[in-house]
Amino acid sequence: MSKILLAIQGFEPEAWLERFRTLSGTKHEVKLSPDVDGKNDFDYACVWKQPHGLLASLPNLKAIFSLGAGVDHLLQDKTLPDLPIARIVDPDLTIRMVGYVVLHAHLHHRQMKIYERQSLERVWVDHNEPPPRSIRVGIMGMGVMGQASAKGLLASGFSVLGWSRAAKKVEGVEMFDGEAGLKAFLAKTNILVCLLPLTAATKGILNYVLFKQLARDPISPALINAGRGGEQVESDILRALDDGTLAGASLDVFEQEPLPASSPLWTHPKVYVTPHNAASSDPRALVANILAQIENYERGGKLENLVDRKLGY
Ligand code: NDP
Ligand code: OXD
């Protein structure tokens, strides 16, 4: 029997505990932090925004699981023990992200903010949007989420570009990589989608200088960020929206979450705001995946979807 500790802030902890216990039966003992009597006993920790120092206080841990795809919340803990860290890669999480990206690409291409206003004013005007194939959607971050979103966008008829750290080939997608490839990637991109992990290299990358490099033909550029709020400079987004550098933005993540009530982004006429739920981690879908990993590891198998701590993702 393995002993599993859940340490969760920001998600609904009770729903995770119930799901872990239901699927574990008598195979695992599952505790929810701060109920951490017997710190020596825990084999695995499954965490989302755990209190810093907690994992370092569990001397016999074998591995750590992030309850989401991103691990920036975990790696910010300077006391993090040197253990394998696995992140979530699951079809449920991925398909949710694909839905968000495809939906928002359509919203910008089809100028839905304009039609929402027209509807309120009973105005019947067709703005005659250019063909989807002429719209180039550029995805920053061509990992699990990026590649799946690219497929969804291609199926919707858009042209798709991708940018990653290392060079790679992705069917149907014009790929760019590294610092050297960024300028050419931006120069062709109309709708910019950010699905990057937050690392030292990506912090603040979505800024005014970058927005200025986006293509303005056949439509003015739009930004869709479902990566991390730390990647965007919100004052630059507002400036770019207000001077026409960006025609619109869909923001799922923010410098500060929850987005403060005082933020002008909430009511900006060109902005869609969602509460960091582009792809929500749902215990009904994800716990089976984590338990299968633990059970495989206990049988001597390898952990999958491991994080490279040096790269930060
Ligand atoms: P992956 O690790 O599979 O993909 C990350 C991609 O980003 C890779 O293509 C990687 O390049 C690229 N990348 C990383 N650093 C750089 C860099 N400096 N320059 C260029 N490209 C870079 O992650 P996922 O696709 O699973 O998830 C991506 C992110 O999405 C998560 O880290 C999380 O922040 C966010 N997310 C947000 C959610 C939400 O609800 N808003 C839900 C789930 C995830 P390479 O291929 O060369 O390694
Ligand atoms: C994730 C997230 O990283 O929900 O999975 O942000």
Q: In this structure, are residues 60 and 43 in contact, taking their beta carbons and an 8 Å threshold?
A: yes
Transcribe 24-47 into DSSP letters: HTTSEEEEETT----GGG--EEEE
Q: In this structure, are residues 248 and 271 in contact, taking their beta carbons and an 8 Å threshold?
A: yes
Distance 299 CA to ligand 1 centre (A): 30
11 three-state secondary structure: coil
Catalytic pick among 87, 96, 165, 276: 276
Q: State the average pLDDT for the chain.
A: 97
- From the list 70, 15, 16, the residue with the least C-alpha distance to 4 is 16
The pLDDT tens digits for 180-235 are 999 999 999 999 999 999 999 999 999 999 999 999 999 999 999 999 999 999 99
The pLDDT tens digits for 223-254 are 999 999 999 999 999 999 999 999 999 999 99
Distance 106 CA to ligand 1 centre (A): 22
Query: pLDDT category, 44, cuts 50, 70, 90?
Result: very high
Kindly tell me if the per-residue pLDDT of 38 is higher than 80. Answer: no
pTM attached to this predicted model:
0.98
Distance 197 CA to ligand 2 centre (A): 10
Kindly tell me if the per-residue pLDDT of 112 is higher than 90. Answer: yes
Q: Whose CA is nearest to atom 3 of ligand 2?
A: 70
Ligand 1 pocket check: which of 194, 196, 228 to mutate, most ligand atoms within 8 Å of Cβ?
196
**Nearest ligand, measured from the Cα of 198:** 1
**Nearest ligand, measured from the Cα of 66:** 2
Catalytic pick among 109, 136, 228, 268: 228
> Is 108 tagged catalytic?
no
The pLDDT of residue 37 is 78
The pLDDT tens digits for 252-272 are 999 999 999 999 999 999 999
**Cα dist. 154→117, 124, 147, 174, 204 in Å?**
29, 30, 11, 12, 28
Distance 164 CA to ligand 1 centre (A): 9
